[in-house]
Structure 1
Amino acid sequence: MTLTIFSFISFTGQKSKFSDIIKSKMYFKTKLKKIPLSLVKQENTFFYFTDENPYYFNLLKSSIAKLGILNPIMVQPFEKKYYRVISGFRRLQIAKELGFTFIPARILRENLSPSEILTAVLLSHPHPLSLTEKVRIVRIMKDLGISTSQICTRFGSFLEIQSPHLLEKYIRLSNYTPSVLSYISTHGLSLNQALAFENLSSEEQNLLISLGTCLSLKGYDFCNILKVLKEIETKEEKNVAAILKETEILNVSKDVKLTRSQKIDKIKKILKMKRYP
């Protein structure tokens, strides 16, 4: 059933037409229901793919404080009277922080397969998917055993990933650590810019994330600096981590006496002298 629905989505490209499916008995035990927060005992984060962003979290919290929860969470029953959260983790956290005792929820059937649960979660997602959210979804699909060809042909239009070549890039990104994906998301790197992290060690990735975070480096500046670092790596046969440490670039990025633009200019000059002595 899941793949049949997504086959139709891949032809139409319209998620909005499936609101009736999401609300139907196909996936849900009951219509919208308010459940006591005290009965929500578990969280199933396997299907969690949403970007973490403190700014948007605070916006959501302000909205919920004024208007309540307009988009119900998604839960599944267990042990007869309790519920585990499948989707809506931030809304649940905010409800607890605001002292709510009940929360609106859609209750999934107990006998759904993981693929059917993923279908329900995706079709009820209210916002356009970001690059890193698509990456996490691709990883979930691969973990569920959905083949590359099925992702392209059945899910491609929904995810806007319709060619095997493009999907292969997302699969490569799906191997990144959560901290790398978080940086890609918060600093707006494109798909091709995000691939610059590939073939770097965990230490090198962490050092670059630290550098990029200190300087709020967006995609263009980040990739230019990394490009020069890799050129120096080839020239001197030293890894990126060693180059960052011996040039004291990281110390420059933390110098409180310099403005952001002064730090970036100084780092570029250091790298240029290292690359072209």
Structure 2
Amino acid sequence: MLSDSEPVSNRMACPLRMSVFLKELKCYVFLFLLQPFTAEDAKSKEMKYEYEEKTVPLSKIDLRDTTCRLGISIDADSVVESIEAVGLINPPVLAGKGGSMYRIVCGFRRVKACQILGWPTIPARVLPGVVPLPDLLKLAILDNRAHRCLNVIEQARGIHKLTAYIHPGNEIEVLAPLLGFPPNKKVFTKISTLVELPDEIQAGILDETISLEVAVDLCKFTCMDAISFFDLFKKLKLSRNKQREIIALVGEIAVREGIWPAEILQCQQVSDIMENPDLNRNEKGSKLRAYLKQRRFPELARAEETFRESLKELKLGSHLHLTPPPYFEGDTYSLRMTFKSLEDFNRCRRDLEAISKKAAFRKILTDF
């Protein structure tokens, strides 16, 4: 469980809520621990910090310190107009970080907005002395969750930042209620891997360019390979299943040919497909998948092409459908015919009789 100087077994680590009491210029922040056994237990495990309202020079706030930041970037545009109109209603929470500099605990967008507006100083709530880092992180998480649910990237970053302070084996029990994800090992594993991805791919998860499942698939690749996949998916806007199919095909080709996945995605054949002005997005996606299948399974691709040519010679029409065995493994074919009347049925029967005498049909049955 979360700890600083106390033994792990002596502290519970899942804050549920934050109560802030103001008295003149001083405030007391209480972080209550989740699921106390009794009210008495809750009191005994209470962590109390006194902080002070101060006016702090913006030059003394280290905007590069992202220790307590959960988001990918600081988008302050939506806050600038509000602060310009009514001022800073809710001051950020800061903590000293040595010397005269401060670290932002809560309120990255507010501080950034004030910087954009050219404020030389900013009102802030400053925590005293040296506050244990896990407590700063918990406070930052609670501040975010007071307004909204954390997104999956914020959850991933919360896991990454707090895991070092948790007793091994207790991560899910402690972090699921704190960060707001289901207490499930499979979910925890998926979310926790996302911090390995470049920021642009993490942003792509949030704007739904790729799904969580696809992002997890990309975690097993190098940064360069993952970005190559992501750039492709941004252009094609494929479904989740088709994205995963491409990832699997490229990964298998890379292993088979002993090259990097990025080399496959940047090869001339792929470039020709992606840059063809006569193809729309769906056509490019179909041709790319066909090319990758042909490269991954060359013998199967040749068999499929030969089969298609033989079908053209048979001229089955729309009422007869011949299907080969899956992957051309085996010798059982399927034939489906559609008809609306006895006359249609007799026509199908006559066509079948004629087809059975064609050399192309005999070739299909003997060559595959």
How high is the sequence identity, in percent, across the aligned residues?
21
Q: Does 1:77 align with 2:96?
A: yes
Give the distance between the partners of 1:75 and 1:219, measured in 2 at CA. 42
C-alpha separation in 1, matches of 2:119 and 2:277: 43
Contact 1:187 1:216 in 2 (8 A): no
- Decide whether aligned partners of structure 1 residues 180 and 8 sit closer, same or farther in structure 2, where only a CA change above 3 A counts: closer
Q: Which residue of 2 aligns with 1:122?
A: 141
- The answer for the alignment partner of 1:271 in structure 2 is 292
SS in 2 for 1:100: coil
The amino acid across from 1:155 in the alignment is L
Instruction: Count residues in correspondence.
Output: 266
CA distance in structure 2 between the aligned counterparts of 1:194 and 1:152, rounded to whole angstroms: 21
Quickly say closer, same or farther: Cα 1:34–1:133, change in 2 above 3 A. Answer: same
Matched, 1:192 2:213: yes
Closer, same or farther in 2 for the Cα pair 1:41/1:193, shift >3 Å? closer
2:176 maps to which of 156, 160, 164 = 156
Match of 1:131 in 2: 152
Q: Structure 1 pair 57/172, CA: closer, same or farther in 2 (3 Å)?
A: same
Residues 39, 246 of structure 1: alpha-carbon distance in 2 compared, 3 angstrom cutoff: closer
Report deviation, 1:132. Answer: 1.2
Distance 1:109 1:171, change over 3 A: same
Quick check: 2:56–2:122 contact (8 Å CA) kept in 1? yes
| Structure 2 alignment gaps of length 5 or more | 4-10, 30-47, 302-368
Secondary structure at the aligned position of 1:85 is classed as strand
Distance 1:19 1:246, change over 3 A: same
**212-221 or 114-123, which moves further after superposition?**
212-221
Q: Is the 8 A contact 2:80 2:116 kept in 1?
A: no
Residue 110 of structure 2: SS of its match in structure 1? helix
Which of these residues, 213, 217, 221, is aligned with residue 234 of structure 2?
213
- Alpha carbons of 1:24 and 1:188: their partners in 2 closer, same or farther (altered >3 Å)? farther
Matches within 5 A, 1:167-178: 167-178=188-199
Larger Rg: 2
What secondary structure is seen at the aligned counterpart in 2 of 1:47?
Answer: coil
Helix, strand or coil: the match of 1:27? strand
If each structure's helix is expressed as a fraction of its own residues, which one has the higher value?
A: 1
| In structure 2, C-alpha distance between the alignment counterparts of 1:272 and 1:18, rounded to whole Å | 55
SS at match of 1:19: strand
Counterpart of 2:165 in 1: which secondary structure? coil
Residue in 1 that maps onto 2:248:
227
Shift of 1:136: 0.9
C-alpha separation in 1, matches of 2:275 and 2:88: 41
Determine the structure 2 residue equivalent to 1:30: 52
Q: Check 1:165–1:210 CA distance in 2 against 1; reply closer, same or farther (3 A cut).
A: closer
Relative distance call for 1:231 and 1:57 in structure 2 (3 A) is: farther
Aligned with 2:172: secondary structure? helix
The answer to whether the 8 Å contact 1:51/1:185 transfers is no
Match of 2:108 in 1: 89
Could you tell me how far apart the structure 2 residues matched to 1:158 and 1:218 are?
32
C-alpha contact 1:148 1:164 (8 A) present in aligned 2 = no
Q: Is the 8 A contact 1:44 1:86 kept in 2?
A: no
Q: Deviations over 1:18-45 (max 9, x none)?
A: 23389624234125x5433243256431
Supply the distance in 1 between the matched residues of 2:107 and 2:15 (Cα, whole angstroms). Answer: 26
- Judging changes above 3 Å, is the alpha-carbon distance between structure 1 residues 256 and 46 closer, same or farther for their aligned structure 2 residues? farther
Q: TM-score, normalised by structure 2?
A: 0.59
Unaligned runs of 5+ in 1: 10-16
Q: Hey, which of these two has a bigger chunk of strand by percent?
A: 2
> How far did residue 137 of structure 1 move?
1.0
Match of 1:18 in 2: 18
Alpha-carbon spacing, 1:85–1:250, altered in 2? closer, same or farther (3 Å)? farther
- CA apart distance, 1:50: 0.7
